[in-house]
Amino acid sequence: MSFSVSKIEARIVDHAVRQNGAIVSSLGRHVASRYLVVTVHSRDGACGYGEATTAPIWSGESAETAQWMIENLITPLVVGPTFDHPSEAVAIMDRHLHGNSFGKAAIDIALWDLWARRQDKAVSQLIADREPVEAIPTRVSIGCYPPEETVRLAVEFWDAGVRTLKFKTGVPGIDDVARLRAVRERLGDEPVFTIDANGAHATADEAVRAIEALEPFNLALVEQPTRRDRLDALAEVRRRTNPPVMADESVFTPDDLDEALALDAFDVLSIYPGKNGGFTHSLAMVAKAQAAGKLCAIGSNLESDLGQAPHACLAASLSAFPVERYACDLMGSLFYAESAVTPPVKFDRGRVSLPRGLGFGVAPRV
């Protein structure tokens, strides 16, 4: 179904992280989120919504730079033409703008939302290759805190029903062995442990030593142990260690994925539309990874419920996401003081429900 965009609005919003909910990682301390909410209006009065979860240390974008880019560069490209599919607008944006993945993703997500709403469908109905999973297991990040605080957070999440814990690692001065040992001693063998160094290790040797020190605690997954620009080191770590390796920071774009596949650098691909430059690119990358025999899991840049809804749609709808094996980083409901959308994304006993309704099933609250 064709559509034409008449107007794009991009407004900055601030989300407060709940008390004691800050994420501490090798990239720094995340205590608040300044994001961009995008509304795309069609000529017939319909709307679609997207979110840019900007963080300069992550993609080089801030809410302010993404807003400027959308208002001054993307709007003249996207407003006016008639499109048959959101991917046509993505092709135009990519042809004229390098990088800026999260800003472009907010537009693409809003266009998918709009396109599905105009067909009176949920996006999941348009992309699913299986019966959608109604409640998706959640993996929750625990920052690089000392053992006592790490245990407190782990117990809190465990009591909320979360069964997969992701420990941020690799911060100098923090004893990761002591942290994981303390949680195992408190909660036993049932919790699934994964670790994420966010590229903290400069060399493969350093990463291998860190992983081997933590392997006694039964690691189900090792995420991005080496620097984002060292795919060769990531591939070496995969060859030399036992746990499955997830590629995150090293694989933003389809071209990054091609290089990572050529090196056989990962077992599991962390997917999320903001990083990938849009929902359209995420779909293509999932298909390529699956064709190469790789699995996918949802990653996160601490999206609000508005950004979380497209993630839930991908995880629920596509067979490349074995969600019972690799839980998804659908964490917004646990980290923000209040929901940014109506209806709120439902979190219950460690699972996030696929939002029901047209498009991605949510709309900004204000």
231-279 pLDDT per residue, tens: 999 999 999 999 999 999 999 999 999 999 999 999 999 999 999 999 9
Judged against a pLDDT cut of 80, whether residue 27 lies above it is answered with no
b/e map 239-268, b = 16+ CB within 10 Å: eebebbbbbbbbbbbeebbeebbeeebbbb
263 and 177 part of one domain: yes
Among residues 93, 120, 147, which one ends one of the domains?
120
The last residue of one of the domains, among 120, 146, 168, is 120
How high is the pLDDT of residue 136? 98
> Are 133 and 274 members of one domain?
yes
What is the mean predicted confidence (pLDDT) over 108-129?
98
pLDDT for position 25: 52
**278 with 334, same domain?**
yes
Pairwise CA distance, residues 246 & 301, whole Å:
16
In this predicted model, what pLDDT tens digit does every residue of 299-343 receive, in sequence order? 998 899 999 999 999 999 999 999 999 999 998 878 887 888 888
State which amino acid sits at residue 243.
P
> What is the extent of the structural domain holding 45?
3-120
Same domain, 133 and 51: no
pLDDT for res 102: 95
Final residue in a domain of this structure, among 57, 90, 120? 120
User: What ranges in 229-326 are assigned the alpha helix state H?
Assistant: 231-240, 254-263, 273-276, 279-291, 305-317
15 plus 108 within the same structural domain: yes
Same domain flag for 217 and 353: yes
**Pairing status of strand 268-271 against strand 245-247:** parallel
Same domain, 143 and 76: no
- Provide, rounded to the nearest whole percent, the portion of the chain with pLDDT above 70: 96
Beta bridge partners of 347: 352
pLDDT in tens, 45-102: 999 999 999 988 778 899 999 999 999 999 999 999 999 999 999 999 999 999 999 9
For residues 30-48, give the mean pLDDT: 89
pLDDT at residue 285 greater than cutoff 70: yes
Which pLDDT does position 23 carry in this prediction? Answer: 60
HSE of 350 in the Cβ direction (CA atoms, 13 Å)?
19
Please give the Cα distance from 20 to 145 (Å, whole number): 11
Does one domain contain both 197 and 315? Answer: yes
Out of 37-51, 53-67, 192-206, pick the least confident: 53-67
Q: 142 pLDDT band (50/70/90 cuts)?
A: very high
Above 80 in pLDDT, residue 28?
A: no
Of the two residues 297 and 339, the one the predictor is more confident about is 297
155 with 216, same domain: the answer is yes
Residues 61 and 179 in one domain: no
Residues 242 and 345 in one domain: yes
Signed CA dihedral, 261, 263, 266, 271: sign only: negative
Q: Are residues 113 and 50 in contact, defined by beta-carbon separation less than 8 angstroms?
A: yes
Q: How high is the mean pLDDT of the chain?
A: 94
Together in a domain, 203 and 332: yes
Rounded CA-CA distance 91/335 in Å is 34
What's the total number of domains in the chain? 2
pLDDT for residue 29 is more than 70: no
With a pLDDT cut of 90, the percent of the chain lying above it is: 87
Residue 86 sits in a domain of what CATH number? 3.30.390.10
Axis-axis angle for helices 305-317, 279-291 (nearest 10)? 30
Q: Of 42, 163, 36, which Cα lies nearest the Cα of 104? A: 36
The CATH number of the domain holding residue 163 is: 3.20.20.120
- pLDDT on residue 60: 87
Of 38, 88, 29, 28, nearest to 63 by C-alpha is: 38
Q: Per the omega criterion (within 30 degrees of 0), is the bond before 225 cis?
A: no
Are 194 and 220 in contact by the 8 Å Cβ rule? The answer is yes
